[in-house]
Structure 1
Amino acid sequence: MSKPTTPVPAAAKLRELLAEKDKVVVCPGVYDGFTARIALAAGFDALYMTGAGTTMSMLGQADLGIATLNDMVQNAGMIAGLNRKLPLIADADTGYGGPLMVGRTTAQYMQAGVAAFHLEDQVQTKRCGHLRNKELVDEEVFLSRIKAAVNMRVQTPGDILIIARTDALQSLGFEAALNRLKKAIAIGADIAFLEGIANAEQAKQACQELSPTPVLLNNVAGGLTPKWTVQEAKDLGFKIVIYPGFALGPVYKAVADAAKELKETGDLQVPTSAGPKAIFEICGLKEAIEFDIAAGGNLYVRGV
């Protein structure tokens, strides 16, 4: 009997990617199994689970601090489980409480197979990072969140990369925001995330001052940060680029157009390339059939 092979854990794989000198990790933002499968089929090195997308897809609500730990970890675990070899970076908001709760969040994300997660310095009733008038916790509270995550990682089997995110740029200024990230790195954060970067000068300075710690760029179309290509982000010094709106915008536009067409015409034109079988194949139809047959099943021997 052949021995099972042990795949490289997703967190270790992400560490390898970040260690590559000229590598930029590009993460399309996904929020459910279908959008994750589409991104996986495209061949990306990693995925990003957007908190805004999770809140809207699971709860039908705007991203205003409504999603709970249970909502987020359930979604993250499902997405991470689609391909255990591919790193998933996930939003963890504020950690959902004080140090004990942040520790619980860390352990549950690790057990779910998440490769990295980010913790921020907004108050618990937070809002999307690209909305204005965000409220922050004191620096000590933010750092206690990071420390709680670091301590729980030590106690829990496995690994996870901790991303320190600050939303302090708009209200406290560039130097204060950078100082929060430097202190978070000093106590164990692996990656820095300066939300709402306003220009290339800020981006370049942040990447230089925080080096050798990798810096993450949140590339939100229409948000507070200028639109940069992956190459431009690399030239500025970023090591990770996440695209939270990768699926949200296109899905909204396509479904809204289809709804309008059906409502106004009483008909709907669906391209043959988007028929049921083609969509099921994106979601693992072929692999599922092969697994069933290999186990002795006969339900699919004649195909579907």
Structure 2
Amino acid sequence: MAQTKSATKLRQMLADPDKIVVCPGVHDGLTARVALNVGFDALYMTGAGTAASRLGQPDLGLTTVDDMANNAGMIAGLDRSVPVIADADTGFGGPLMVARTAEKYILQGVAAFHIEDQVMTKRCGHLMGKELVDTPTFVARIRAAADARTRMGSDIVIIARTDALQSLGYEEAVARLKAAAEAGADMAFLEGMRTKEQMTQVVQDMAPTPCFLNMVGGGVTPLINTREARALGYKVVIWPIAGMTAVYLGMRELCRELKGTGEIQDRRAEDGKIDGGLREVFELCGLEACVQFDKEVGGASFSNGA
């Protein structure tokens, strides 16, 4: 099935001993198109970016399963050969709802998703004051997702995320991840690590379960590069707010320019062409492919050009 192809490809990447999967965070079709154009072989759909872009709200558990699954599916549909890893927050309810969430993500063509152990009114993992469910509740979420995967005949990768480090300490956090792995999780995600020693130790303690690393600019975890992450043994590294930060900074600059001067000057690339002009953006989003498809199937919508 089409919806399992990207998951299978991601599993092949994870099985490659020399491979580390590096994903920029994208939150909409345009940021995803940019990342695909640059040549990334996997993408990460950020929950924080989805909340900010779709709702204009902070990452405080305000998105619904449909907000998240539909956004992930749109991104995954841009290029089915490129796996998309997506945030699934807490699974959005009890075991029945978690199973339904897993089904939605599978049908949307997502390659992997992570589920965490926060309460339903969750918050970004790099904010303070996070509240957790108990270990049995967390394990039930993972087990429900794994059961849905089996019933759907899917190969989707389930990533167990714990936010227990902040309030319960390292040993309890690792115990939760191990319990989640026994319940069917394929990867371990320890959120909010504060030292490189913790980053090193969790990979060793969770072996042979592969580990997932979250690099958040301005967050609590020290930032390391891909070479360092590979040396520590991580299999997936995400930079979740890459797209959101770029959009925020770029839009802020242009709005200040327009407000201050009454216009926005064209940016020129090295070859003298306008950088980021309308047609360039449309071409990035598949303009020529759309025109060609229309022609190939006998359409005449663009016979006079586009």
Amino acid at match of 2:288: K
Q: 2:109: which partner in 1?
A: 113
Amino acid at match of 1:303: G
Q: 1:55: which partner in 2?
A: 51
| Separation of aligned partners in 2, 1:99 and 1:8 | 23
Alpha-carbon distance, 1:105 to partner:
0.2
Out of 292, 299, 303, which is 2:294 matched to? 292
Amino acid at match of 1:172: L
- Secondary structure at the counterpart of residue 209 of structure 1: helix
Q: 2:207: which partner in 1?
A: 211
Amino acid at match of 1:185: A
Q: 1:158: which partner in 2?
A: 154
Within the alignment, does 1:230 sit opposite 2:226 as a pair? yes
CA gap of 1:6–1:92, structure 2 versus 1, over 3 A, is closer
Larger mean CA deviation between 63-72 and 289-298 belongs to 289-298
| Separation of aligned partners in 2, 1:303 and 1:192 | 51
| Matching of residues 137-152 of structure 1 within 5 Å | 137-152=133-148
Deviations 1:82-137 (A, max 9, x none): 11111000000000000000000000100000000000000000000000110000
2:139–2:180 Cα contact (<8 Å) kept:
yes
- Secondary structure at the counterpart of residue 245 of structure 2: helix
User: Under a length normalisation based on structure 1, what TM-score does the superposition of the two structures give?
Assistant: 0.96
User: Under a length normalisation based on structure 2, what TM-score does the superposition of the two structures give?
Assistant: 0.96
Within the alignment, does 1:72 sit opposite 2:48 as a pair? no
Within the alignment, does 1:94 sit opposite 2:96 as a pair? no
| Matching of residues 199-278 of structure 1 within 5 Å | 199-271=195-267, 272-278=274-280
Larger mean CA deviation between 92-101 and 203-212 belongs to 203-212
Amino acid at match of 1:254: G
Alpha-carbon distance, 1:251 to partner:
1.0
Q: 2:285: which partner in 1?
A: 283
Structure 1, unpaired ranges of 5+: none
- Secondary structure at the counterpart of residue 26 of structure 1: strand
Deviations 1:135-154 (A, max 9, x none): 00001100000000011111
Q: 2:270: which partner in 1?
A: none
Within the alignment, does 1:85 sit opposite 2:84 as a pair? no
Amino acid at match of 1:68: T
- Secondary structure at the counterpart of residue 242 of structure 2: coil
| Separation of aligned partners in 2, 1:7 and 1:297 | 29
Deviations 1:1-37 (A, max 9, x none): xxxx989700000000011111110011000011011
CA gap of 1:141–1:246, structure 2 versus 1, over 3 A, is same
Deviations 1:246-299 (A, max 9, x none): 111111111001001101110111321211110001101111111111111122
TM-align CA RMSD: 1.4
